[in-house]
Amino acid sequence: MSEAATTTTMPGPGADAAAPARTAPPAERRGASARNIASYLQAAPLALILFVFLLIPIATIVVVSFWDYDFARIIPDFVLTNYKEALGSSVTWRTYLNTLRYAAIVWALTAVIGFMTAYFLAFYVRSATMQMVLFLVCTVPFLTSNIIRMISWIPFLGRNGLLNSALIHIGIVDEPLEFLLFSDFAVVLAMVHLYTLFMVAPVFNTLMRIDRSVVEAARDAGASGWQTLTNVIIPLAKPGIAIGSIFVVTLVMGDFITVRFMSGGQSASVGLMMANQISLLQYPAAAANAVILLITVLIIVAAIIRLVDIRKEL
Amino acid sequence: MTNGKKKGLSRRAMLKGTAAAAGLAAGSGAITGFPTIWAQSNITLRQFGTGVSNLNAIAERCKQDLGITLEMTALDSDATAQRTVTQPDSYDIADIEYWICKKVFPAGVLQPMDTNKIKYFDKIVPLFITGKLTPDSVIAQGTAPHTVGFVEGMDSTTFAKEPTQWMTLIPTIYNADTLGIRPDLVGREIKNWKDILDPAFKGKTSILNIPSIGIMDAAMICESAGIITYGDKGNMTKEEIDTTIDFLIKTKKDGQFRAFWKTFDESVNLMASGEVVIQSMWSPAVAAVRSKGVPCVYQPLEEGYRSWGGGLGIAKHLSGAQLDAAYEYINWYLSGWVGAYLNRQGYYSAVLETAKENMTPNEWGFWMEGKPAEEDILSPEGKVMEKTGAVRDGGSFYDRMGHVACWNAVMDEDRYMVSKWNEFIAS
Amino acid sequence: MRRDGRRGPAFWLLGGFFVLFVLFLYGPLSTIVLLSFQGPDGGLTFPMNGVSLNWFRNLFEKQAVGDFGGSFLRSLILGVMVMATTVAVSLLAGLAFRRRFRGATFLFYLAVASLIVPSILVSLGVGLGFQIAGVPPAWYSSAFGAQLTWTLPFGLLIMFAVFNRFNRSYEEAARDLGASSWQTFSNVVLPIILPSLIGVGLFGFTLSYDEFARTLMTAGTFNTLPLEIYGMTTNVTTPVLYALGTLTTLFSFLIILGVLATILVLRARRARRTAG
């Protein structure tokens, strides 16, 4: 029962999709065609929505990325200029590098923080209700509009902000710390703030599924707490970490609003570059960038899946 | 005349002053009786634009005076340009800037307006008609509003060189922008655009991050600092763009800038919080900082101002009663109440005469003539903005709009400029 | 079932870390709450210009620019629409995936891809698609769909996790007792997974309510709340934004308490039923 309760807030991946046969009892094979129809009917809404709002839009973007444009219109055509301009420019490469750098740093931080948080919740909090309460407590700040939260970083981290005032008051620093705001530090901080929860959730989910007797056995065999953690728990939690990583990397790669606000417009990211092009009505250029971004993200995700078999989790 | 009592009253309230009555008499054939029609048919116009002029007070007053319901949607300037072109059915009235107009009008999403139906056309400030504030003014560089203010014919999307019967945008507000400073924190006299480069302000300056506007600020700074002299700031060559952006990149690498702002609000917060002590700024943003009790000055500079203007355009799809209502709304917009409302925020309105009738002599003297305030100047919400004796930064309308060095611009090399601008941000 | 009852140093270390993490999450919120009590002349940043409840009152008055009421209502309706659709569609799909059917793997990967595709790309794609098709975008059509591509995969993954742990013997028992499949579903399966469904709904609502990028290019004529707030920043904004933030937080706490109470009640009832 506690299982069901804890999953309420967990975007835990799982179930029998990849290997549906595994769990299908023999009884279900009877009347297979009728059940098949039921399955199709049940899956139809999902398929339809994803078709209309995911597949068609992506197809549109791919098509438009080959179109031409002038300063006011997009012109149906088949040209490669958008790709040539995007890939031929050193700005694009630098922007991608910068975005990947953000992704790497944010990923590392969220992985550590996320794992520790999830580990605490999964192994040290006793009741399922308490776990849920603590998890919900973590989600509350996200119900306040992100734009408002972004604005509030200025009075928090700014030159005369809360944090600097506090630091000066305590006497840790004499001068306000300038790097706290409008810097790479600020961007990473805000991203960690926004995205750690996406790591906590799947890791927590895997940790909850670890058979406690395995941990018990390790301990009985004389493993220290640290050895149990590194040799038993972390390897078993890998799929969850991988899924969390996919979330975090994807979110960072596509982010534009955090980078713009927190760097004070001084840093670039792929998302921001696209947003700029879109705002200047250069849709085909933005579309070409979008296709490149999508391919990049897919490669990263494929690499993660290669490293860790997340299907164990499914 | 089936005018209801309320309408009659409100219009009277709107057009107090005898001069106004005289003005009304001249065009009464066009305007009389219209309001009631809209009140009965429940006409709704959807207008969008930036929050600068998409004010709820205007919609409220419009409903009251004309019976037309205005549904206002505020967006940032990027989204404004975007929506004009990509979702032409989602609005009836577009409230856009002139440089955006240069980009979007050729897309054929707006219809030109017949100047014969614009009641106050002859009274519109000549800046928007001939480009000259006074007959002997020099036309400033950049996308001056009059260059994109008219098209050649009713169905044309080609901008006309001379004023025609077909107007693209009806000017609503405009202003001359300069640097805003924190007099308590700069600790020196600020006279030129190049003063923003003073090493003393390292990490405490900011400029706009809207390419078409930011590049003009940058140009003012570069020219002032003697980096380059432009043939035409508003239409740079590739080499000029390169020099400008390279200089910006170098300045950025030196850590001169604290941040780049994109929305009005950001500029206010940067200044009020002390993150920045000198930055490019808009006049009402300075007023907003000051209203929080933080000293802030809108500093006139020797090289002159960078100016901008916005206007109302009518969507292509409007016709029939809705189109008539749009014209009626625009005529009302120019008839004074709105003009006074905008002038009181530190912007300028297109028809000065009618606005004047809706302002007190003290207000007019302070905002438009550069005279010391004889009594406290109040904001539209009734808060004290300026104390008795205060003088507006930059002085009178003619002092400010007469010293415009350039307008926000869309250049021939726009695409190149934008890619260079992205390089600057990414550097 | 938790076996680590001992509160050793590791507990306090990790517990301390968790508290720090929560403090970090609530850090910016503290400025929001503090500054929402700004005096009438105060701004969005420090210093405080007096202390007042002015901005909470102002929240319910007409703003200079923008319209909290309308956009909030739209966001709320949209959030509920997304919530309901996410619950219904992911529950159905979750049920479908319990059996093998052709195309299951493809559909599953499509759902995962939906999570991976960057928001701004979906936004651009849906916006462009509607434009090219000549369908006017609106918050209740294009933005609704764009948001679903984000909430549905989440809902689906949660359903997977739920059904993966679901003990089929309950269903079999019900069937052996002669219950029809509908009875089995509504009387046995549904009550057990209800807390999870509430979780899916909550997730769907939260993700939709604050979604910016996916709505940006798909909202049509009228703004949702995040877009409206963004639009408002093109003029002077006031601590009224913070007042909104403070109230939202308070409101969220209340909702969470409500959900918590519901779950506890449901569980108590179920416990009683299984006991009796």
Taking contacts as CB-CB distances below 8 angstroms, the residues of chain C near B100 are: none
- Say which CATH topology domain B177-304+403-426 has: D-Maltodextrin-Binding Protein; domain 2 (3.40.190)
Q: Which of A51-65, A77-91, C258-272 has the lowest mean pLDDT?
A: C258-272
Q: Which of A71, A154, A281 sits opposite B82 (nearest CB)?
A: A281
Quick check: B14 pLDDT over 50? no
- Whether B5-168+307-334 shares its CATH topology with B177-304+403-426 is answered yes
Residue B138 CB: number of other CB atoms within 10 A? Answer: 11
Q: Which pLDDT score, from 0 to 100, does residue A23 have?
A: 44
Q: Is A196 on the interface with C (CB under 8 A)?
A: yes
Q: Which residues of B touch A257 (CB under 8 A)?
A: none
Chain C hits for B294, Cβ within 8 Å: 43
In contact, C162 and C193? CB cutoff 8 Å: yes
Is pLDDT at A133 greater than 90 in this prediction? Answer: no
User: Does the CB of A314 have a partner CB in chain C at under 8 Å?
Assistant: yes
Q: If DSSP codes are grouped into helix, strand and coil, which group holds residue A68?
A: strand
pLDDT at C132: 79
Q: Which of B315, B268, B316, B324 is nearest to B296 (CA)?
A: B268
Average pLDDT in the A126-151 region?
82
Instruction: Map residue A55 onto helix, strand or coil.
Output: helix
In this complex, the residue of B81, B269, B422 whose CB is nearest that of residue A281 is B81
Chain A, nearest residue to B255 by Cα: A266
Nearest Cα to A291, choosing from A33, A138, A87?
A87
Distance from CA of C24 to the nearest CA of B (A): 22
Interface of B with C in 65-104 (CB under 8 A): 71-77, 79, 82, 86-87, 89-91
Taking contacts as CB-CB distances below 8 angstroms, the residues of chain A near B419 are 85, 89, 91
CATH number of the structural domain spanning residue C182: 1.10.3720.10
Helix, strand, coil share of chain C (percent; to 5): 70, 0, 25
Question: Is omega for the bond preceding C28 within 30 degrees of 0, making it cis?
Answer: no
The yes-or-no verdict on residue A203 having pLDDT over 80 is yes
Q: Which two tokens stand for residue B148?
A: 């994109």
3-class DSSP assignment, residue A74: strand
pLDDT of res. C239? 85
Determine which of B158-172, B229-243, C214-228 has the lowest per-residue pLDDT on average.
C214-228
- Nearest-Cα distance to chain B for A72, in Å, is 6
Is residue B29 over pLDDT 70?
A: no
The CATH homologous superfamily to which domain A87-313 belongs is: MetI-like (1.10.3720.10)
Instruction: Classify residue C124: in a domain, yes or no.
Output: yes
What number is the average pLDDT over the span A228-256?
87
Inter-chain residue contact C245 with A38, CB threshold 8 Å: no
Window 71-110 of B: residues touching A by CB (8 A cutoff) are: 78-79, 81-82, 85-86, 103-107
Lowest-pLDDT range, A197-211, B28-42, B239-253, B307-321?
A: B28-42
Interface contact flag, B272 C231, Cβ < 8 Å? no
pLDDT at A313: 54
DSSP C224: -
User: Is the residue at C189 inside a domain?
Assistant: yes
Question: What is the distance in angstroms between the CA of the first residue and the CA of the last residue of chain C?
Answer: 23
Residues 333-392 of B with CB under 8 A from C: 381, 383
Which comes out higher in pLDDT, residue A55 or C194? A55
Closest by Cβ to A151, choosing from C158, C241, C256: C241
**Tokens matching residue C250:** 């308070």
Whether the CB of C29 is below 8 Å from some CB of chain A: the reply is: yes
Please list every residue in chain A whose beta carbon sits closer than 8 Å to the beta carbon of residue B209.
Answer: 265
Whether the pLDDT of residue B35 is over 70: the answer is no
Within 78-97 of A, beta carbons closer than 8 Å to C belong to none
Chain C touched by B259 (CB under 8 Å)? no
Mean pLDDT of A269-285: 83
Nearest to A71 by CA among C130, B245, B160, B412: B412
Say which residue, A225 or B143, is predicted with more confidence. B143
Q: Which residues of A touch C42 (CB under 8 A)?
A: none
> Which residue, among B418, B420, B424, would best test binding to A if mutated, counting the most A CBs under 10 Å from its CB?
B418
CA gap B232, B99 in Å, rounded: 16
**Which residue from C99, C118, C233 is facing A28, i.e. has the nearest CB?**
C99
| SS3 labels along chain B | CCCCHHHHHHHHHHCCCHHHHHHHHHCHHHHCCHHHHHHHHCCEEEEEEECCCCEHHHHHHHHHHHCCEEEEEEECHHHHHHHHHHCHHHCCEEEEEHHHHHHHHHHCCEECEEHHHCCCHHHCCHHHCCCCCCCCCCCCECCCHHHHCEECCCCCCCECCCCCCEECCEEEEEEEEEEEECHHHHCCCCCCHHHHHCHHHCCCEEEECCHHHHHHHHHHHHHHCCCCCCCCHHHCCHHHHHHHHHHHHHHHHCCCEEEEECCHHHHHHHHHCCCCCEEEECHHHHHHHHHCCCCCEEECCCCCEEEEEEEEEEECCCCHHHHHHHHHHHHHHCCCHHHHHHHCCCCEECCHHHHHHCCCHHHHHHHHHCCCCCCCEECCCCCEEECCCCCCCCCCHHHHHCCEEEECCCCCCHHHHHHHHHHHHHC
Chains with 3+ CB–CB pairs under 8 A to A are B, C
Nearest to C125 among A7, A57, A146 (CB): A57
Across the interface, of B209, B273, B423, the residue whose CB is closest to A158 is B273
Domain containing C183: what range? 65-235
| H/E run at residue A69 | strand A68-69
Residue A305 pLDDT exceeds 90 = no
CA distance from start to end of chain B:
65
Tokens read off for B275: 């993150």
**C65 closest CB neighbour out of B54, B89, B294:** B54
**Contact call for residues A23 and C213 (beta carbons, < 8 A):** no
pLDDT at site C275? 64
- The predicted pLDDT at position A311 comes to 56
Alpha carbon of A74 to those of A81, A283, B86, C125: distances in Å?
A: 13, 7, 10, 14
Q: What is the pLDDT of residue A72?
A: 63
Domain range B5-168+307-334, CATH class: alpha beta
Q: What is the ipTM of this complex?
A: 0.81
In a domain, C116, yes or no: yes
Q: Is the pLDDT of residue B148 over 80?
A: yes
**Predicted structure pTM score:** 0.82
B426/A273 CB distance under 8 A: yes
What is the DSSP code string of A1-17? -HHHHHGGG-----SSS
Q: Which residue of C has its CA nearest to A278?
A: C124
Amino acid found at C182: W
A208: nearest CA in chain C?
Answer: C2
Of B74, B86, B273, the CB nearest to C234: B74
Inspect the interface and report whether the beta carbons of A58 and C98 lie closer than 8 Å. no
**Radius of gyration in angstroms for the set of CA atoms belonging to chain B, rounded to a whole number:** 21
Q: What's the burial of C179, exposed, middle or buried (CB within 10 Å: 0-12/13-18/19+)?
A: middle
- Chains contacting chain C through 3 or more C-beta pairs under 8 A: A, B
Q: Decide if C64 and B292 are in contact by the 8 Å CB cutoff.
A: no
Cα separation, A55 vs B96, whole angstroms: 34
The whole-angstrom distance between residue A188's C-alpha and the CA centroid of its chain comes to: 14
Q: What confidence tier does A22 reach under pLDDT thresholds 50, 70, 90? A: very low
- Mean pLDDT value across residues A87-111: 91
For residues B135 and B399, is the Cβ–Cβ distance under 8 A? Answer: no
> What is the spatial distance between Cα A51 and Cα C74, in angstroms, rounded to a whole number?
25
Q: Which residues of B touch C220 (CB under 8 A)?
A: 87, 90
The band of A115, judged by pLDDT with boundaries at 50, 70 and 90, is very high
Question: Which residue's structure tokens are 């979906």?
Answer: C122
The count of CB pairs under 8 A between chains B and C is 110
Q: Is the pLDDT of residue B21 over 60?
A: no
Residue C276: helix, strand or coil by DSSP?
Answer: coil
Say yes or no: C16 contacts chain A, CB-CB below 8 A: no
Query: Measured in whole angstroms, how far is the alpha carbon of residue B64 from the centre of its chain?
Result: 25
Asked whether residue B425 carries a pLDDT value surpassing 80, the answer given is yes
Residue B77 pLDDT exceeds 50: yes
> Helix, strand, coil: what percent of chain A each, to 5?
75, 0, 20
Q: Is the pLDDT of residue A290 over 60?
A: yes
Domain spans, chain A:
87-313
Helices (H), C97-116: 104-116
Give me the mean pLDDT over the B4-19 stretch: 40
- Count Cβ atoms below 10 Å from residue A126 Cβ, excluding itself: 12
* Residue A71: predicted pLDDT: 64
| Cβ pair A265:B418 closer than 8 A | no
Q: How many CA atoms lie within 13 A of A20 on its CB side?
A: 18
DSSP letters, C7-51, are --HHHHHHHHHHHHHHHHHHHHHHHHHHHTTB-TT--SSSSP--B
Chain A residues in contact with C26 by the CB 8 A cut-off are 141
| Range name among A153-157, B372-376, C232-236, C264-268 with the lowest pLDDT average | C232-236
Please report which confidence band the pLDDT of residue A225 belongs to, taking 50, 70 and 90 as the band edges. Answer: confident
Please report the pLDDT score of residue A221 as a whole number.
86
Q: What is the pLDDT along chain C (276 residues), one digit of tens a residue?
A: 344 445 678 888 889 999 999 998 888 888 888 888 888 877 777 777 788 888 888 888 777 777 788 888 999 999 999 999 999 999 999 888 888 888 888 888 888 888 878 888 888 889 888 877 888 888 899 999 999 998 998 888 888 877 877 778 888 888 888 888 888 888 888 888 887 788 788 888 888 888 888 888 888 888 888 888 888 777 767 888 888 888 888 887 887 788 778 878 877 887 777 665
H-run or E-run covering A75: strand A74-75
> How far apart are the C-alpha atoms of B42 and A312, rounded to whole Å?
62
CA distance B73 to B84: 12
Pick the most confident of A231-235, B60-64, C87-91.
Answer: C87-91
Q: Where are the domains of chain B?
A: 5-168+307-334, 177-304+403-426
